[in-house]
Structure 1
Amino acid sequence: MIEFDNLTFIYDNKPLMQHFTCCIARGEKAVLYGPSGHGKSTLLASVPGFVLPDEGSIRIDGRTLDATTVQQVRRRTAWLPQEFTLPYDTIQELIEAPFRLRINQALKPSRETVLEHFDRLGLEHELYDKRSIEISGGQRQRIMLMIAALLQKDIVLLDEPTSALDPDSIARVINYIHSLHEATVLMVSHDARFIDSFDRKIYIGD
């Protein structure tokens, strides 16, 4: 599904990651872990082509990621970075926005479906009608994860999705991610509970 072949990333004229090779199978839930500053987030961002390796190649379903294939990969990918802002005034607008695109219109969820996902993630129903500035960082992370799931993408990329969550919410998020049976999930995390629960544990470090 996702093949990293002999990747090297250079930052400030120094190698951030060298000669990394790994293959992640379709539907697998894989976590990147290890000390900071060794290229985990960079590797994650390379899958949709936001960062390009200085050496090596990336293949998605056997096709090399390049200028001719990157848009196709991005259409199949949900990306949740560690830091992000909410560009819409209300949570309802935020949830509905991606489903206004023609490619996603057939997947638009009903309010009832959204609230069912809220329950699974431990989110209060009242959040649906709140303004974006009124919710916490942990609530924001879970809502964005829910949107990624509802879009039914083949690849889900998560960068530290539990940095603002309490233990109960972390357990819910772990179960939620594992319920995405068809999706290939690649996540960066330092949380031992996530690392222990994933199919593949990929250490990135010295």
Structure 2
Amino acid sequence: MIIFKNIDLKFNDKTVLKNFNLTIEEGEKVLIAGVSGKGKTTLLKILLGFTLPSSGSVFVDDLEINEKNIDKIRSKIGYMPQSTPFFNMNVEKLIHTILNYKQNSNITLDTNKLINTLKEFNLDVGILSKDISQLSGGEKQRLAFVITILLDRKIWVLDEITSSLDQDMKEKVTEYILNSNKTIILVSHDNTDALNKFRRVIL
């Protein structure tokens, strides 16, 4: 369960969020919607501990986010930002590098799962031998989503992750998210049928 409780956030003299409250049950799929500048991405960053609210509290599985437990909370979250901050390296090496991070030490790479997940999102296995700089924007987004799936965190925080995909792939990714057993917070401006099945929260 995720709880945003009485969240206020100001930047200089601008109020971004005021007395914002939201409870997300385990396994629930929530779409954060609203016009640009209303604080959608900022709300995700508050959950991840990258931005501190002016007042209020955030709880994940009954833990109130603070500097002492933020690493433990982040270990529960698979985060995909609007742009994928990949280093320019070989794709296969990148995947192994990410899985070798300390917080991912409990994960063993299942090669069959990797290959099948790549195929699920129309990525040829040959992508593993390419460098990140050789990939299109859409390929990078799909690769980032594949890696998120492999990390298998219980919560997914996803920010405009289909912006570079064609309409069919937007639908496919969104349906996959919808049918997962994860707790999902999604920010998206896309217009797909699957998004209508999410609980919609307007900022």
CA distance in 2, matches of 1:175, 1:96: 27
**Aligned-partner residue type, residue 2 of structure 1:** I
Q: Who is 2:8 aligned against? A: 8
CA distance in 1, matches of 2:11, 2:195: 27
Does the 8 Å contact 1:33/1:195 carry over to 2?
no
CA distance in 1, matches of 2:175, 2:38: 28
Q: TM-score, normalised by structure 1?
A: 0.92
Does the 8 Å contact 1:44/1:187 carry over to 2?
no
CA distance in 1, matches of 2:122, 2:196: 22
**Aligned-partner residue type, residue 201 of structure 1:** R
Does the 8 Å contact 1:90/1:132 carry over to 2?
yes
Q: Who is 2:74 aligned against? A: 74
CA distance in 2, matches of 1:197, 1:135: 31
Q: Deviation of residue 101 (structure 1)?
A: 3.0
Does the 8 Å contact 1:77/1:156 carry over to 2?
yes
CA RMSD across the alignment: 1.5
Q: Who is 1:63 aligned against? A: 63
Does the 8 Å contact 2:31/2:186 carry over to 1?
yes
Does the 8 Å contact 1:32/1:187 carry over to 2?
yes
Q: Who is 1:84 aligned against? A: 84
2:186 aligned with 1:187: yes
Does the 8 Å contact 1:122/1:172 carry over to 2?
no
Sort the Cα spacing of 1:102 and 1:44 in 2 relative to 1 into closer, same or farther, 3 A: closer
**Aligned-partner residue type, residue 113 of structure 2:** T
Q: After the TM superposition, which parts of structure 1 deviate over 4 Å for at least 4 consecutive aligned residues? A: none
Q: Who is 1:176 aligned against? A: 176
Q: TM-score, normalised by structure 2?
A: 0.93
**Aligned-partner residue type, residue 186 of structure 1:** I
Does the 8 Å contact 1:5/1:57 carry over to 2?
yes
Q: Deviation of residue 104 (structure 1)?
A: 2.6
CA distance in 1, matches of 2:103, 2:42: 28
Does the 8 Å contact 2:84/2:144 carry over to 1?
no
Gaps of 5+ in 2: none
Percent identity over paired residues: 30
CA distance in 2, matches of 1:26, 1:86: 30
CA distance in 1, matches of 2:133, 2:117: 21
Q: Deviation of residue 118 (structure 1)?
A: 0.9
CA distance in 1, matches of 2:21, 2:139: 35
Q: Who is 1:121 aligned against? A: 121
Q: Give CA deviations for 1:27-64 in whole Å, capped at 9, x if unaligned.
A: 11111011000000000111110111101110111221
CA distance in 1, matches of 2:88, 2:43: 29
Does the 8 Å contact 2:9/2:17 carry over to 1?
yes
CA distance in 2, matches of 1:108, 1:91: 17
Q: Deviation of residue 103 (structure 1)?
A: 4.4
Gaps of 5+ in 1: none
Does the 8 Å contact 2:84/2:141 carry over to 1?
no
